[in-house]
Structure 1
């Protein structure tokens, strides 16, 4: 989304009708066009508490989100407004205004809880808007409508398959939960404790203090507070005076700031400034920044899960996103490779090594393109698929068949159950065909140590699996295609040269110029001169010798006939000449075999280099992702230690011990993650 393009107003992102949540395609189309990182701010609260006014302020507009000046809830579902971020260049601010919770007209509060959960899952800053002070009634609204915060683990899962004996601790959620901002509207109390002034943040902190005791009353008091403290380590509070006289509240959209309470105007400005400055880009596990298309995928994944009766799961959402993006990353990498080879390669190349050198450089850069545009290569499928391909080749060789890239990719597609791979194979099927004989010899000479790499691979089924694994297969196929094109270009060039150079000689043979005494020696002299002329021609390519020998063999019957009819030669001289020709032919065949073996060795070395390059770049990618995950866990650890210290200070030993167990689990996870990444 370019910075000069703005939505004129909000659109419905998720519609809530007849107890069903439905995604609006128009809104998804808008998100798909936003290539910039997104800062997502969602606001939730009871209906008729002025949520939409704050969101309009963040959008820099007086009108947009419906304010609703009656006792009816105006906003239905979740509405979205995307605007250029006012303080972060090349970022988009996505504002999500939610349906007012607790609307008595709806009767069923089930969708309230899903809207609340979706607002948390989609946002990087979560604003909870309420009226008046933070008292037990305000906490009860969080707790009872219906248990939004205290039962978040019933509505949201961090992992697709948590251990049956393990309750997901807050660290699993903290890594992707948004920052928490509580806005208190029509706040009329003085901010002070024991006669001393305090800030709004200190007021929130005091309001979240726990009470000693284990009775149901204390548990009811502590439960929402403890949950907010655990799940939302970063908290902020803003208070707002009433903006104007109650009778004028319905005219807020048309009133200028100088007509509103000055305190309220300043408070609203402070709120906007904080959001613009401190709200971070929406990120996923591993520090992956979310842009418009990624947010689009998250919306679809979560709503589809809810519609099918499942829990919205962060891990599944990331996997779905990875499949989409890795498929696109494969296509980008292959397109880049094709572009580079088309620019760099001039067929035919003089040697096979010249072509392979260009391939290696282009392949390395193509893998870099893939690595840059991909993420979450689950179970290292990128490397495992490469090993599967090697194993497929070896199995084909063992059975005496010709190793075929098409068969290898199809076998891998069956192993991975990947519709995307099959589609790509079909698309490029017309480019395949039998691999040239020298490629067959090269592959048959492969070092069988590759087999050991292939057999160690665990083959795992992936639903609708995609893409990262396709890169080595596709690039190897592209290399083979270029090798075949190079050979054909060389053969065509050499055949054309021979036809042009030897045409006068063939005409002389037809005219009987050499059918006379001494004609054979004259023929040999002429052919030698023409061969030298052919050999001096530039850019004949790798088929130069083979095409020449094939041509000369095709003329053996003619030269032999001229030899036998040459009256000037004795039978002994003719026999000697026959032996000379045979020796020369054998020498040429030996030279061709040597060239073939050289090509085989070059192909073997290139395959090993290619494999090592895949492993090297994948390992670097894994190390980067591991470092990002470690940074996330270290932040979670710091927040847990901070909360534990606060619990100890307040005298809550049991809660502190429970948090200590979570800290120990997190430490163990971090210790495992610190081990260096190894490609097996």
Structure 2
């Protein structure tokens, strides 16, 4: 993707056919394949009809884009994607992922679990969007977080406390509380929205089953996500105006909502980090598309998602492509600069320049090539191409020399054969031809 160019509307990244089958859409994959720079990925999840899409449109700097609901029907199915140049990080692309609403009665709950899991695994920041307040009911609706250990494994060789590894690989977590109408107070003391979230996640003491159930989602949120942030938004407009929220100019929005929305966007722009995977490897758009396909393939096969295996698979895909692209660059450079035949020293210099460009492309595209296996493969292929070019250069040189000899001696042989030098004065002509 060229810098400064972005999508003008979202496209479906992961389609959910409603019968438990998920797939990565080719149009979205092709878009990601053209993004060779790091991506900052922000996913939004939450119950349907809570205004998730509107929040993502604001992150995109637009009034419209992701489909908004104006009825009880959930508009977003699967996961939709919108890529734009990052507003604050030069050389980065901001990828916004809007997920289908959780808890839609028309959807299988297992689909919700996988959509939630994919949003976690693909994003740098996971935004959970809900209505009202953060109370026990709200946390019980977030039961998907408690199911992550059942669906995700960090290491190929699992161990008892593997869930503790989630904190190292999961995104940061932002809870967006919509239509919040209370005062942020604890007793008589004013508190921040972050303190409000921290208070809501406090564990109860005790060993009863009821206490364990109460603590479970809170413990998971605290143990799985290293960074947590909270924003509370008042209702943006009246009930009547909410039906045309896409058309409302900012001056008609609630001023406090607008303030919080701007604070939310600013936080995401400045604090969301580029997407990484296990091992700390930064992900490009190309890698993100491949990663989505790897996860979907594992889901469709019925396997538990293993992040360590996913990185291995991703490395193979990325590095095979890096070798191919780098080799194409080498061949293109050689063909554009090496007009055969050439002096062997000049051909060697052109080869060195082309090789450096190819290696630069490979290093930019390669992924986790720890033992330089793929880099060595590239060097071997370049060596073979260079040897072929040297052989072609040798043949071209021979052909050129042959042509020069023919241009020189064909007229001489013609004159000898027609007897031109056997006449008086012919010897002088013969000597003159040889010395000319």
TM-score by shorter chain over 0.5: yes
Change (3 A) 1:190 1:471: same
Counterpart in 1 of 2:288?
295
Matched, 1:471 2:378: yes
Counterpart in 1 of 2:260?
267
2:149, 2:163 within 8 Å by CA — same for their partners in 1? Answer: no
Matched residues in 1 for 2:352 and 2:249: separation?
65
Matched residues in 1 for 2:86 and 2:353: separation?
40
Q: CA-atom RMSD, angstroms?
A: 3.4
Counterpart in 1 of 2:149?
153
Gaps of 5+ in 2: 422-430
1:303, 1:312 within 8 Å by CA — same for their partners in 2? Answer: no
- Give the 3-state SS of the residue equivalent to 2:299 in structure 1: helix
Counterpart in 1 of 2:137?
137
1:45, 1:51 within 8 Å by CA — same for their partners in 2? Answer: yes
Matched, 1:52 2:53: yes
Equivalent positions of 1:445-524 (< 5 A) are 468=375, 470-497=377-404, 504=412
Change (3 A) 1:268 1:490: closer
Counterpart in 1 of 2:157?
162
Counterpart in 1 of 2:189?
196
Q: Which has the higher strand share?
A: 2
Counterpart in 1 of 2:298?
305
Matched, 1:381 2:385: no
Counterpart in 2 of 1:125?
125
Counterpart in 1 of 2:358?
366
Q: Which has the higher helix share?
A: 1
Counterpart in 2 of 1:102?
103
Counterpart in 1 of 2:331?
338
Change (3 A) 1:15 1:178: same
Per-residue deviation, 1:3: 5.6
Deviations 1:10-36 (A, max 9, x none): 333222222322333333333334444
2:40, 2:93 within 8 Å by CA — same for their partners in 1? Answer: yes
Matched, 1:92 2:93: yes
Per-residue deviation, 1:139: 1.7
2:36, 2:365 within 8 Å by CA — same for their partners in 1? Answer: no
Counterpart in 2 of 1:66?
67
Change (3 A) 1:496 1:221: same
Matched residues in 2 for 1:327 and 1:345: separation?
27
- Give the 3-state SS of the residue equivalent to 1:101 in structure 2: coil
Matched residues in 1 for 2:381 and 2:321: separation?
14
Question: Greater RCO between the two (CA within 8 Å, min separation 6)?
Answer: 2
Equivalent positions of 1:209-608 (< 5 A) are 209-246=202-239, 248-342=241-335, 359=351, 362-377=354-369, 380-382=372-374, 468=375, 470-497=377-404, 504=412
Q: TM-score normalised to the size of structure 2?
A: 0.84
Change (3 A) 1:271 1:347: closer
Change (3 A) 1:472 1:83: closer
Counterpart in 2 of 1:30?
31
Matched residues in 2 for 1:308 and 1:326: separation?
24
Per-residue deviation, 1:344: 5.9
Per-residue deviation, 1:45: 0.9
Counterpart in 2 of 1:19?
20
1:162, 1:168 within 8 Å by CA — same for their partners in 2? Answer: no
Counterpart in 1 of 2:199?
206
Instruction: Flag the structure with larger Rg.
Output: 1
Matched residues in 1 for 2:62 and 2:341: separation?
64
Gaps of 5+ in 1: 383-467, 514-525, 534-680
Counterpart in 2 of 1:42?
43
Counterpart in 1 of 2:9?
9
1:79, 1:96 within 8 Å by CA — same for their partners in 2? Answer: yes
Counterpart in 2 of 1:554?
none
Equivalent positions of 1:646-657 (< 5 A) are none
Deviations 1:73-92 (A, max 9, x none): 23222222333433334443
Per-residue deviation, 1:56: 2.3
Per-residue deviation, 1:126: 0.6
Deviations 1:185-215 (A, max 9, x none): 2223322234222111122122222233333
Per-residue deviation, 1:138: 1.7
Per-residue deviation, 1:116: 0.4
2:163, 2:224 within 8 Å by CA — same for their partners in 1? Answer: no
Change (3 A) 1:211 1:29: same
Matched residues in 1 for 2:193 and 2:10: separation?
31
Change (3 A) 1:349 1:3: closer
Change (3 A) 1:343 1:28: closer
1:297, 1:317 within 8 Å by CA — same for their partners in 2? Answer: no
Matched residues in 2 for 1:167 and 1:375: separation?
28
